[in-house]
Structure 1
């Protein structure tokens, strides 16, 4: 499939074959993928985000399943965002933590935390066997402007604090994209997933960026339902972005 213009402007899209769905093990899935060999991917990526696409490694994809439309791309319009009471409590509970933004470079400290998270959250799901190569292949793109938002315990005297969370974040002129978040399961009570999103919202606000893209909210999927708690929220219907509740009411 191609979106035609001048020859140099042609945008090529590919449809994958059927593969196991990563969210519903009894289902199969298909994706639309931007041409991974297109040298313009870095420049096309912000537009692709606005069309409901995501990045995984160097692939930019969007679910394109014939019989299932459960995956809904969502984003936070960060300048209108207002944390609710629970989210404000999460920020207060984690006020002792150190947050910093670093280059997306592989380090043993990062991989060790990633492996612990997968072993706890995705045991026997396939991802828990990821090694350092898969870590880089999945999270760090060769053309994307990716950063790690690191979350650390208060530092002891003379050294950095223990790393307990990482939000892998792509930076574009149109907004931030929350690619993946992993954290120390021993600190799950802190609500580090929520805290990471709130920190990404604050980051986008500081940079005067309009949106934080959260990937896909998935109807009836408990692990993805948390995204609806960030309001206001916008959902993509395949043509345009709508207020989240209005989009769902039309389905």
Structure 2
């Protein structure tokens, strides 16, 4: 059999404990994102529910579970709730700057504090500074790093007076939207709700770029870690019939 060198090949991982649902095991199907066709391939695969990690595109392929659901926010129809507007107000003293995916020791220090506080026993807990650099740099698609810092006296005109790094988001720019690959923030600033703030900021960035969607990865109904994603309405979920508008119940809307 002849295989064209640009044709993606897919592989299946062995079962491993699920990080979201106790007692379940996960498997993933994945392929490599390499070469000049990588951006187009990522666009296509994202439509099918894949996510990116470095130069790998993957999606769940569990044998007995279909709990992971791909989620995207409809940017043009999104209206923030009252609590979201309060989050935006609390973070008016921050400035977000988008740039090339270039790692730094300051980023890694924040990343390390975030992991130690929020995900001390997770799969990323042992990541070294080199691992972090690979996560940021190793991409053959259009990837950006958004860094959020305290505003300085001259931040309106120059980034030279920007203050300490408070949060950061690794983000892919695709044909129809932005995809938040990974984000982290200062764990001692819990009152800011920085996770929510970064999503709100990315919605506005996508709107200004004329992109209709913000991709948030997977939502798992019974996972408390994923509960925050359902608050950003309206949104589409990927199901057997393709992407469809999701109607949340009353508890989820609250």
Using the size of structure 2 for normalisation, the TM-score is 0.88
- Are residues 225 and 140 of structure 1, via their aligned partners in 2, closer, same or farther at CA, if it must alter by over 3 Å? farther
- Are residues 9 and 112 of structure 1, via their aligned partners in 2, closer, same or farther at CA, if it must alter by over 3 Å? closer
Are residue 99 (structure 1) and residue 96 (structure 2) matched? Answer: yes
From 216, 224, 231, the equivalent of 2:226 is 224
Structure 1 residues 159-215: Cα deviation after superposition (integer angstroms, max 9, x where no partner) = 321100001111112210011110001111101000000000000000001110000
> Secondary structure at 2:161's aligned position in 1?
coil
Q: Matches of residues 122-133 of structure 1 in structure 2 within 5 Å?
A: 122-133=119-130
Partner of 1:175: 177
* Unmatched segments (≥5 aa) in structure 1: 1-5, 247-251
Report the RMSD for the aligned CA atoms in angstroms. Answer: 2.1
- How far did residue 39 of structure 1 move? 5.6
Partner of 2:42: 45
Structure 1 residues 5-34: Cα deviation after superposition (integer angstroms, max 9, x where no partner) = x95774432222212323235321111112
- How far did residue 66 of structure 1 move? 1.1
- Are residues 95 and 204 of structure 1, via their aligned partners in 2, closer, same or farther at CA, if it must alter by over 3 Å? same
From 223, 235, 242, the equivalent of 1:233 is 235
The separation in 1 between residues aligned to 2:149 and 2:42, in whole angstroms, is 30
- How far did residue 239 of structure 1 move? 4.1
Partner of 1:249: none
Equivalent residues of 1:82, 1:231 under 8 A apart: yes
Count of equivalent residues: 242
Are residue 81 (structure 1) and residue 78 (structure 2) matched? Answer: yes
- Are residues 240 and 126 of structure 1, via their aligned partners in 2, closer, same or farther at CA, if it must alter by over 3 Å? closer
> Secondary structure at 2:198's aligned position in 1?
helix
> Secondary structure at 1:129's aligned position in 2?
coil
Structure 1 residues 194-245: Cα deviation after superposition (integer angstroms, max 9, x where no partner) = 0000000000000001110000011110110110000101100144101112
The separation in 2 between residues aligned to 1:213 and 1:186, in whole angstroms, is 27
- How far did residue 140 of structure 1 move? 3.7
Are residue 116 (structure 1) and residue 97 (structure 2) matched? Answer: no
> Secondary structure at 2:9's aligned position in 1?
strand
> Secondary structure at 2:80's aligned position in 1?
coil
* Unmatched segments (≥5 aa) in structure 2: 155-159, 249-254
Q: Matches of residues 47-62 of structure 1 in structure 2 within 5 Å?
A: 47-62=44-59
Equivalent residues of 1:73, 1:235 under 8 A apart: yes
Using the size of structure 1 for normalisation, the TM-score is 0.89
Partner of 2:166: 164
